[in-house]
């Protein structure tokens, strides 16, 4: 995904150099979409870690005691 973002930025620079406004506009849109996708992926991964920790804590509370004392 980061490679796609870098390619979009390269296309943006090339479009600016050769003077193609349509390529520049499409490159800007593509790069923004890629950056939003990277940010969303990071947020989902962070949320997954938090949910996994909460789930592990909940399971630990609900498991019966492994070493019951008589």
Q: Coil, helix or strand for 69?
A: coil
Polymer length in residues for the chain: 70
Q: What contacts 20, CB < 8 A, 6 or more positions away? A: none
Q: What is the pTM of this model?
A: 0.63
**pLDDT tens digits for 13-60?**
888 888 888 888 888 888 889 889 999 999 999 999 999 999 999 998
Token pair for residue 38? 């990277």
**Region 3-20 average pLDDT:** 83
Tokens 């050769």 locate to 18
């Amino acid at each position: 995904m980061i490679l796609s973002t870098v390619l979009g930025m390269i296309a943006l620079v090339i479009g600016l150099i050769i003077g193609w406004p349509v390529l520049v506009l499409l490159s800007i849109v593509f790069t923004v979409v890629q950056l939003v996708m990277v940010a969303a992926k990071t947020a989902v991964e962070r949320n997954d870690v938090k949910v996994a920790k909460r789930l592990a804590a909940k399971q630990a509370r609900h498991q019966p005691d492994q070493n019951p004392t008589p």
